[in-house]
Amino acid sequence: MNIRALAASSVITLATLPWLSGCQVTLGDATTEESSSSSSDILTASVSLGDCDLDTQAESVACAANAFLDTLSSSELSKAQLSWSDSEARTVWSNLPVGTVTRNGLRLDAMSDESKTAALVLARAALSDAGYVDMIGGFAADEYLNSVKGASGYGAELYYVAIFGDPSADGDWMLQIGGHHMAYNITWLSGQGYPFPHHKGAEPKASFTLDSATYAPLKDEADALVAVFDSLDSTDLSYAYLSGESYSDVLVGPDNGSGTLPDNYPSGSDRDGMLVSDMSTYQQSLVKEAIRQWVEDYPDDIADDLMDAYTSDEAFADTYVAWAGTQSKGVDVDTSGTYMRIDGPRLWIEIACQGGIVITNETHYHTMFRDKYYDYGNSL
Partner 1 sequence: MATASNARYLNWVWCSLCCWLLLASTSVLAHPADNSLIQIDIRDSGLRVHVQLPVEQLYMAEPALFPKGQAFDSIDEALPAWSDFDQAAMISYLKKHLHLFMAADGPDPLNPSALPRVRLAAQPQINNMSVVVSNNSLQFKALLDVPFPDPGIRNSRAWRWLVDTSLINHRVRNHKTLITLGSDALHGRDGSDPGVLGIVGYQSAPLVITSDPGSSLTLLTTLIKQGVMHILAGFDHLLFLICLLLAAPLRIRQKRWEIEPDRRQALWNLLTLVSAFSLGHTLTLALASLGFVSVSSHTVEIAVAGSLLISAGYLLWPLSCHRITVVATLFGLVHGLAFASELGNDGFALPRQLLMLGGFAIGIELAQVGICLLVMPCLLELARHRAGIYHRLRQGGAVFTLTLASGWAIERTFNVSNPLQLLQDQLPLILLGIYLLVLASSLASLASRPASQPTVS
Least Å from the CB of residue 11 to partner 1: 5
Interaction with partner 1 in 213-252: which residues (CB under 8 A)? 244-251
Contact window for partner 1 (CB under 8 A) among 29-37, 213-221, 282-290, 292-300: 29-37
| 252 or 303: CB nearest partner 1 | 252
Look up residue 218 and give its amino acid.
L
Report d(CA 118, CA 296) in Å as an integer: 23
The three-class DSSP label of residue 301 is helix
Q: How far apart are CA 60 and CA 137, in angstroms?
A: 23
φ and ψ at 299, to 5 degrees?
-65, 165
Q: Does residue 189 bind partner 1 (CB under 8 A)?
A: no
Q: If binding is defined by CB under 8 A, does position 18 make contact with partner 1? A: yes
Pick the piece of the chain touching partner 1 (CB under 8 A) from 17-25, 45-53, 82-90, 218-226. 17-25
- C-beta of residue 290 within 8 angstroms of C-beta of residue 118: no
Residue 217 burial (CB < 10 Å; 0-12/13-18/19+)? buried
Is 28 near partner 1 (CB under 8 A)? yes
Cβ nearer to partner 1, comparing 127 with 183: 183
Per rule CB under 8 A, is residue 212 in the interface with partner 1?
A: no
Residue 303 or residue 368: which is nearer to partner 1 going by CB?
A: 368
Q: Nearest CA to 311 among 271, 274, 277, 351?
A: 277
Contact between 211 and partner 1 per CB under 8 A: no
Distances (CA, A) of 199 to 18, 175, 182, 336: 35, 14, 6, 19
Could you tell me the smallest distance in angstroms from the CB atom of residue 48 to partner 1?
36
Interface stretch with partner 1, choices 10-18, 83-91, 122-130, 290-298 (CB under 8 A): 10-18
Of 74, 102, 112, 80, residue with least CA distance to 4: 102
Residues 165-184 that bind partner 1 (CB under 8 A): none
Helix intervals (H) in 26-73: 39-44, 57-70
Q: Does 27 bind partner 1 (CB under 8 A)?
A: yes
Residues 6+ apart with CB under 8 A from 145: 151, 154, 203, 358, 359
Question: Contacting partner 1 (CB under 8 A), which of 186, 210, 352, 359?
Answer: 352
Residues that bind partner 1 (CB under 8 A): 1, 3-4, 6-7, 10-15, 17-19, 21-22, 25-30, 32-33, 96-97, 99-100, 151-154, 244-251, 253, 264, 266, 337, 352, 354-355, 357-358
